[in-house]
Amino acid sequence: MLRFLGRRLTATGEIPRRFKGEVTSDMKRRPEGVRIKHTVNGNSVKAYDKLYTERAAVLRLEATVNDAGDFRVYRPKEGGPADDLQWRPLRKGIADLHRLSQVSGRANERYLDALASVDDSRTLGELLARVTKPATWNEKRVRALNPFAPEDLKLCKAVSAGEFVISGVRNRDLQRLLFTEEAASPAERRKRCARVGRLIRMLRAHGILQKVNGTHRYQITEEGRSILTAMLTARETPINRLMPEELAPAA
């Protein structure tokens, strides 16, 4: 939920120690359907199961911002010069309504993306069919991704780290996660930068990463999120959980 509502996690997906807020989730059943609510410091994302029938249902999402100061908006200081733009606390009012709409919309989008990556009927083989074959990027051949090779698995875990969900990942961010020791020289740093650049190019060629316009950051695509979620989940799932129930050994 921290990710959905714009909060960063550590590289290992844990809550930062400096975070002192409250995170809660609850579910209520009502005559018109089920309501699930996730709250961080009074701000929430809610999902409603509306108009449910045996044939179909309408899922409605709603983001509610009660503590606007928990978010930031790029604006001048109140009463200050108009060109003194900085990231300042979001105001609860019509002055920052455009930013409030962005924050709420993106929270709903991230929540829906997470639901979509879970509710996917495709097999692991179907998801990985394209990325496990060589691809082409700017008329240059790019190697296939080997999801279960240690180096590629480490790369996929790195780009999926919780701290990059909101703002995206950079070359130097991946260097920090892929190399355990500091570079011994400027020449070594350049080699690492070039190597990570080639890995980013590979992930872009396979449709897993896309560049954020005007920046040196990259975001995971919708299809890439499904691929990485399926791959990393299967990697950690016990064999008996992958087998059909009728073939699984008795407990």
Predicted local distance difference test score (pLDDT) of residue 1: 66
Q: How would you list the strands of the sheet with 58-64, edge to edge?
A: 23-30, 33-40, 43-50, 58-64
Predicted local distance difference test score (pLDDT) of residue 8: 67
Q: Which of 118, 133, 154 is the last residue of a domain?
A: 118
CATH code for the domain of 220: 1.10.10
Read off the pTM.
0.58
Number of domains the chain is built from: 2
| pLDDT-based confidence at residue 247 (cuts at 50, 70, 90) | very low
Percent of the chain having pLDDT more than 70? 84
Q: Which of 90, 118, 146 is the last residue of a domain?
A: 118
Checking if the pLDDT of 75 tops 80, the result is yes
**135, 209 contact by CB (below 8 A):** no
Domain assignment present for residue 249? The answer is: no
Same structural domain, 114 and 129: no
Same structural domain, 67 and 112: yes
Q: For residue 214, what are the contacts with CB-CB under 8 A and spacing of at least 6?
A: none
Classify residue 111 by burial, with Cβ atoms within 10 Å: 0-12, 13-18, 19+.
buried
Same structural domain, 137 and 113: no
Domain containing 214 equals: 124-237
Domain assignment present for residue 215? The answer is: yes
Mean pLDDT of 31-51: 82
Give pLDDT tens digits for 150-167. 899 899 989 988 777 767
Domain assignment present for residue 145? The answer is: yes
Q: Closest Cα partner for 163 from 49, 24, 13?
A: 13
Predicted local distance difference test score (pLDDT) of residue 51: 67
Percent of the chain having pLDDT more than 90? 20
Domain assignment present for residue 248? The answer is: no
